[in-house]
Structure 1
């Protein structure tokens, strides 16, 4: 018996004494929790340590009390044994006993720190088994991955990569993808995964979408396969920030980097672009802290340990494949068996064969993959499979079909699959990936509800499963630990259980918003809650999804959710399952929406097509209570889908209304010619924009260079404070007007003519002070950081304008400065604060310091919130080269303190923050 088995036996024996007859103890392993799973409290651990020391012959130290799992205790025991036998060996370098896998501690704050930890402790352990189409296994250890990633990081740094630079990668599944992803992180950059084109017929649309993502993300480099450079070069015309197109081989030519930048958990880790079908791309901003919080929450919900084996064919540009499988294997420490999505699509049985061969315990896929395996695989292909190790089969990323769950379970039960392993889950990129999981080993929960009550009244009324007019809705589980779900109506009010409404969530893995897209970010947030875009209800705290908010069809006063009809039509003989779309088309004459069913079929015989059409029409009446207005039977390849296989209902609707739905796709050569012509036109337009983009900043700088010295002298020589402030205000107004930057101002009526007042404004740019100076009356003074007194050019005008200075780093001096501010307010002064204290390039309202609000509360002064717009776009971050933007200033009604204590100041802060968040169009960065 190895040391790991001996220690686990000790733990199980003690736990069995505390919980006699508990059957689950036998299934708990090295990575289950000592307290939560085995039930060992602090006093029980004293006894446990005594038994471990006696049985294993080691002396445990005080750090043993911090061990949360038998595996961590085993590592400590191994370190103690090695130290006793070898003397100088450090605990972190000690070998594991019995070959036990180690889990990275939860205190690690970034993905690269987690990788480095694995390299130090178990560098030779296989992290990923990469399978090719022939099933050959390329084993990638932690050490090998780290070396490959560090080589890429050296290449990026040699190219001039700065912290925060975006690096796009368009690579197939393989070591190169992970090397570039982690290499970008090592270099302090932000990776942007893109999907490669699936087939030549998609070339034009693919380039259009990729170009939009590159432009939105501001990626400096695109790292891709050498074969893709032919068409990828056309992207540079549409993406002005793109400095070059690189290959992994080119990046590997620089050797090792002398040093790598350090990143924090709050830093942006990568941009996950949602696979939406229309409109501008939306890059979900995910920090290291978001990802680690989500993965650790899923680990707890799925009871995952490093002993698990995750088998995946999911694309690495998609959140479920990259985060759930790829990053999850790194953070949790389980082994990842990975194959290409194309390998699965070519022969779906390869997925099941890999689970059988590697004794996979975890895997995930969209519903269509389970449907393929349930109905398309021959008995000969399944021969010899053993799926008894598969304990959690996650079904997510698209609508989950109860019928598919049952067919899959029944089809594979003879091969060892347990129905209890099937686990419908729910998640979205804005929550990192996962949001709701069912209890591990429970199996699917199907809620049967009255279809008409659900569609017309929004009530999930329980109904007998075998009754007429019943709809089956699968449960997706409860919110992950540390997260919360709620259902709200159109007005944003929370709904009770079994009432259908908009699904919202909050938690530590919630993203900060969409990159460089304040309008979409504003729609995403509802205060502290984020909108999922889905409709559903809660029952016993479990989430049940009924459809997408934007996909709902309103016809004749009925609310129609398309998913159930699509699935039913897909089961008609001759119809291609998974290639059916139900959508609403505008009917301006009738003042309502037309119900359209689009289904792909292979049959050409008119009689057979007529029979299919009649069956579709009958199903529409049965399931929606209304006939379909149009049934379109189309050839294969007509239904539009996203890169991850989701139906693009809005795009299908647009093509239907424009009359282009059944238009044959042009050849790849014609598409390439169109792309080349469009690229040339884009280059011409880009050249004109660059010329204008260069001339305007030059003009703006010329204006400021001419104005600043004159205004500086007027402030320095002005005889009175009033005249000096008027000079500053007039100079700021003239400079903005001459530069073509007039501000739209609202709420001037809220400015008091006299008396003390505290103005608090959001801080997004160096232009903020100039803009406020131009808008506010001359009686307002500004509160500035004391470091500005160290600059000769800034110290004199600030002093002459009566600015107040506060110390940020010396607590005692800061308290004195706060007292001075209160004295000025008590004397009737009006002061302007930037309570965030600083600003960054990324959008988001940072946490507020309390100084302004404490001063207002203690002096009884009103607080006047002011929201500035456009300054971050004009001059973001530390940049010195402006970009034209439209500026706005919104002055909100005053807030009055309810008292003079700390609670009153907190209330002022929260009220001011709420007002500004509602207007600023940026996320709440304090929740990051």
Structure 2
């Protein structure tokens, strides 16, 4: 079996289609397509877009054989398999709405995952639901008592009687899919995206963000239920007639080198990952690996999905330099499901830009005053560093606003508001939540905070994550950064948030995953973190040490700070209700679990 090619005679056509069906009809005339690899790097499925279209059309008729009508929802447990892609496109031709569901469960989380699936199924009012064999038991448990027309594996759906007559197809304003947000700050909401909206974003990305050419090839390990995995690596390659190579998210978590091996073997040019993905890969790369790979073709390494930290990217670039990886390939991006996917891209082929600002001025006056790091160090000025996410895609309007909704000038920090053709129509059957974030004239309040520099967007965090102590605004990422500088604390090991002390005053708490067992060293770690926070911010804080894999993550792998706070408070309440124990270091005295790569666990939770 051979993978589909990177180029063909079909003319590269940007995403100027009216529907996704029209886009797949066009891509089917070429030789590019989708390729799936297992954890050993073996190709087990290669489908040209022509073959994928034929299979999707046949499945579309079988779905309609269930008696579903146009606009009905079909829930799909989004494992990285050819079946998910086939079902996604079959829904488009059948006039049905695919709803990707997370395929992620961690040890001890069986019931939580089942509950999550059930809530999503109830929320979208699915008429049918599909899961691969290994996920079927979860889906069956989640659908008990729900009246769905069919619940089963792909084989069950393939055995259905096909409907007769013409397929409904799609119109530009029909809903193309419902994308559930990852739930960083609240229960996930269903983002409704129609064909016109997603194709507008893809066209903007292809022409202005990525500047696609007829030799480009995509590669990805990102989960299909995440907006970046779905839009950037399923929909966009098809809509621009590019081939794409998929490695399962769980396979990446166990063997991250396979991602780089595939990028080298197939001469892929475009991929994307959160910072922790690059960090995990860098930790596993051996010098002998880098020497045998050729990553010189890799021209776009998008970085997004969470606040961007330069440190893991530097480690990755250093580890892969012998393979020809160019750090100028990094492209800082900003995006969200509510805008289909992408909002801004840093310029291609340039070093990643980091804005160094006066941290005290940021906290006190919400102003991003630039400073020279060397001069600031000499003068004792604390510096905050944020990655420049580049200019917005041309179809977007942006407005940085204060708490009263007034526009702010450049380098003043406020809420990021956006408007453009890529913005969602709203949350599925949730007018109240839609009104919370969207104005009558189409402006979306992203919930993120940032500022503009010469028209470029710099994101500083989520508004709901802000910690306010003695009237000072403190970003949790700044506190987490101090914790991560301590020996033995890894990139994904810290979470900071606000709590109320015994005097009902807001204070900061930092939960740190710790592998150290020696009580004296644990005491020293807590002391050092508290000392760093006191020196940098002039505040006292609570530090709790917990075992690895304690900090919760969203389905997309982001740190779930609100849930981390809830779990912290629950542990505190349980501790207060029990007699004191020995060896308690500012938190439960649980012995640390054996060392586990924190980033691998994050990727596993994505899976």
Q: Find the counterpart in structure 1 of residue 82 from structure 2.
A: 175
- Answer 1 or 2: higher relative contact order, Cα 8 Å, separation at least 6: 2
User: Does structure 2 retain, via aligned residues, the 8 Å contact 1:309–1:335?
Assistant: yes
Q: Does 1:651 align with 2:563?
A: yes
1:115 aligns with 2:24: yes
Over 3 Å counting, the alpha-carbon distance change for 1:151 and 1:201 in structure 2 is: farther
Q: Is the 8 A contact 1:215 1:241 kept in 2?
A: no
Deviation string 1:668-692 (CA, Å, 9 cap, x unpaired) is xxxxxxxxxxxxxxxxxxxxxxxxx
Q: Is contact 2:389–2:456 with CA below 8 Å preserved after alignment?
A: yes
Does 2:364 match 1:471?
Answer: no
- Name stretches of at least 5 consecutive residues in structure 2 with no aligned partner: 1-6, 575-586, 591-607
Check the 8 A contact 1:574/1:612 in 2, yes or no: no
* CA distance in 2: counterparts of 1:247 and 1:107, whole angstroms: 35
Q: Which residue of structure 2 aligns with residue 487 of structure 1?
A: 400
- Superposed CA offset, 1:333-359 (max 9, x none): 221111101111111111111111111
Which residue, out of 543, 558, 561, partners 1:631? 543
Q: Give the RMSD, CA atoms, in angstroms.
A: 2.0
**Residue pair 1:306, 1:335 contacting (<8 A) in 2 also:** no
Tell me how far apart the structure 2 counterparts of residues 103 and 303 of structure 1 sit (CA, whole Å): 12
What is the Cα deviation at residue 575 of structure 1? 2.0
| 2:498 pairs with one of 563, 577, 584 | 584
**What's 1:522 paired with?**
435
Is 1:245 aligned with 2:159?
no
**1:275 aligned residue:** 182
Distance 1:422 1:280 in 2: 32
Shift of 1:385: 1.6
Separation in 2 of the partners of 1:236 and 1:152?
22
Q: 1:204 to 1:409 in 2, by over 3 A?
A: same
Alpha-carbon distance change, 405 to 280 in structure 1, aligned in 2, over 3 angstroms: closer
- Paired residue for 2:128? 221
In structure 1, the residue matched to 2:49 is: 142
1:573 aligns with 2:482: no
1:312-351 alignment runs, 5 A limit: 312-351=220-259
Is the radius of gyration larger for structure 1 or structure 2? 1
* Superposition map of 1:399-548 within 5 A: 399-466=307-374, 467-468=376-377, 469-526=382-439, 527-548=441-462
The answer as to whether partners of 2:40 and 2:258 remain within 8 angstroms in 1 is no
Q: 2:39 aligns with which of 124, 128, 133?
A: 133
Structure 2 counterpart of 1:801: none
The answer to which of 566-575 and 516-525 deviates more is 566-575
Distance 2:497 2:14 in 1: 48
Aligned to 1:51: none
Tell me if structure 2 keeps the 8 A contact 1:109–1:265: yes
User: Are 2:15 and 1:103 aligned?
Assistant: no
Offset at residue 375 of structure 1 (A)? 4.0
C-alpha distance in 2 between matches for 1:126 and 1:567: 43
Deviations 1:360-412 (A, max 9, x none): 11110001112223444332343312211111110000010022333333332
| Cα distance in 1 between the residues matched to 2:8 and 2:329 | 28
Of 613, 618, 633, which residue of structure 1 is paired with 2:531?
Answer: 618
Equivalent position of 2:4 in the other structure: none
Cα deviations by residue, 1:725-783 (Å, 9 ceiling, x for unpaired): xxxxxxxxxxxxxxxxxxxxxxxxxxxxxxxxxxxxxxxxxxxxxxxxxxxxxxxxxxx
* Cα distance change, pair 663–601 in 1 and its aligned pair in 2 (3 A): closer
Q: Which of 222, 231, 239 is matched with 2:138 structurally? A: 231
TM-score (norm 1): 0.59
Paired residues, number: 561
Q: Distance in 1 between matches of 2:91 and 2:169?
A: 12
Relative to the length of structure 2, the TM-score reads 0.89
Question: Structure 1: how far apart are the matches of 2:398 and 2:450?
Answer: 11
Q: 1:563 aligns with which of 477, 480, 484?
A: 477
Instruction: Specify whether residues 129 and 236 from structure 1 end up closer, same or farther in structure 2 by C-alpha distance, changes over 3 A only.
Output: closer
Query: Would you say the 8 A contact 2:516–2:522 is kept in 1?
Result: yes
- Could you say which structure has the higher helix fraction? 1
Once residues 186 and 129 of structure 1 are traced to their aligned partners in structure 2, the CA distance between those partners, rounded to angstroms, is 22
